[in-house]
Structure 1
Amino acid sequence: MTKFFNSAMAALLISSTSIFAQVENDTEKPNSNPPISIETMAGSRGVMYQLIINKKFQSIPLGFFSVTNAAATWEKEMTPDIMTQAHLTYTLFKGLDISSGMQYTPVYGFRSVAGLIYSYVSPQMLIIVNPKVDLADDLAAESLALIEYRPKINDKLNFYSRLQGMYGFIPKSGIHNRSYIMLRAGLGYKEFAFGAASNIDWYGPIKHNENNFGVFVSALLF
């Protein structure tokens, strides 16, 4: 399973979530900033919230990148699942940034991390790949990949779909620690999108599986 998931992540990078819903095209001004993306999902297992920020400072050649995922089950005795990261970024060339900052998870707490952020955007498609490692002695590695596809239906509506996946493991031992696949399909109207959603999660070395099926609503803040 580990080899399959790593191969799938590599294929996403070679073949080409929110920065992950930006609507700018390649002809816009270089200093244009993508919007902030927020999303809420409610499903069979519980609720999930995602916030994605990818902004550039106007006076210095740096940016800020952050992804926060929070999920809680309907069962109150279960501990909420929270993952958040915050990075300063520097653009090497168009589409590729290096990043460094911090990440928090309930298992590892706060850790310094460094990585790369690759992005491709067109009027109908968005691709993001973000591999990173933490800088602790028992370092963990993680790869995030996202593809959005949003072709127009008519002048007001577009079809909205997203595949988002993450795989985390310990490089020294190859042991899995956390992974997920998020699937979204629905409609987009202006800065909003809504539709059906599914989250498939795996936890720990034994890859304990939990699934959540429901609906989502997302919005872009400009």
Structure 2
Amino acid sequence: MGKFLSSVVISVLFSTTLLYAQVQSEVNRPPLQNPPITMETMVGSRGVMYQLLVNKKFQSIPKLGFFSVTNGTATWEKEMTPDIMTQAHLTYSLFKGLNVSAGMQYTPVYGFRPVAGLIYSYASKDWLIIANPKIDLASDFASENLALIEYKPKINNKFNFYSRIQGLYGFVPESGNHNRSYIMLRAGLSYKEFTFGAATNFDWYGPTKHNENSYGIFVSVLLF
């Protein structure tokens, strides 16, 4: 418990120092054009899955930002372990596209833990790429690596084709044991801020890599 509190205090002090420095140097910069928040719901054979993705920068402190991913699944049939994960980080930009991060993560198995890592992001008209390797700062620390790639080329004046592959792999470095991983596949159409189509989730849990899969449809919306 003492190590946990020490890690949280270090993360808060680190973030506060960066915040003060950026207030002094960035106050006169023009407003940022932040990416939208992505909110998605999938209805599938296993249950209903929800995901919220936030990747924002503070308008007055452009090097400082906030990154969060929340996943949750409400299954049709009761399962032993609730399937929910949420993480929230303060980020600091090293250079364009690459950030260091410090914050917290929650899962039903491990509870709340302080985490630190790197976040790389690239966005263009047709592509979005995010990579987020991180470790938790508890004594029995675990490592987790998240990657997301979207491809969304224009079809005509109203619609874009949409596709996404998103993967996560988590393990305990000391033992090498697997703890959580998934692969999400999406394909469909985008109209303005709305996207819909076919969805597949492949999930693995624990050292035995217990597998649960789901097939269905999804709808997502961009919140500007």
| TM-score where L is the length of structure 2 | 0.84
The amino acid that maps onto 2:220 is: S
Residue of structure 1 in register with 2:149 after alignment: 147
Range with bigger deviation, 73-82 or 55-64: 73-82
1:216 to 197, 207, 218: 218
Residue of structure 2 in register with 1:63 after alignment: 65
Residue of structure 2 in register with 1:73 after alignment: 75
Aligned identity (percent) is 78
**Contact 1:164 1:183 (8 Å CA) reproduced:** yes
Report which structure shows greater RCO (CA 8 Å, sep ≥6). Answer: 1
Residue of structure 2 in register with 1:12 after alignment: none
Residue of structure 1 in register with 2:47 after alignment: 46
**Contact 1:177 1:204 (8 Å CA) reproduced:** yes
Aligned pairs, number: 194
State the shift of 1:57 in Å: 1.1
SS in 1 for 2:38: strand
Residue of structure 2 in register with 1:96 after alignment: 98
Residue-by-residue CA offset, 1:61-114 (whole Å, 9 max, x unaligned) = 311111000001101465531100000000000000100000000110000000
The amino acid that maps onto 1:175 is: N
Residue of structure 2 in register with 1:173 after alignment: 175
Residue of structure 2 in register with 1:136 after alignment: 138
The amino acid that maps onto 2:52 is: L
Unaligned runs of 5+ in 1: 1-28
**Contact 1:72 1:78 (8 Å CA) reproduced:** no
Tell me the distance in 2 between the aligned counterparts of 1:130 and 1:30.
Answer: 26
Tell me the distance in 1 between the aligned counterparts of 2:218 and 2:148.
Answer: 17
Residue-by-residue CA offset, 1:90-141 (whole Å, 9 max, x unaligned) = 0000000100000000110000000000011110011110000000010000
The amino acid that maps onto 1:38 is: M
Tell me the distance in 1 between the aligned counterparts of 2:116 and 2:123.
Answer: 23
**Contact 1:85 1:102 (8 Å CA) reproduced:** yes
Instruction: Give the CA RMSD over aligned residues.
Output: 1.2
State the shift of 1:164 in Å: 0.1
Tell me the distance in 2 between the aligned counterparts of 1:175 and 1:143.
Answer: 14
Residue of structure 2 in register with 1:7 after alignment: none
Tell me the distance in 1 between the aligned counterparts of 2:99 and 2:69.
Answer: 15
The amino acid that maps onto 2:113 is: R
The amino acid that maps onto 1:35 is: P
**Contact 1:111 1:135 (8 Å CA) reproduced:** yes
Tell me the distance in 2 between the aligned counterparts of 1:101 and 1:216.
Answer: 29
| TM-score where L is the length of structure 1 | 0.85
State the shift of 1:55 in Å: 1.1
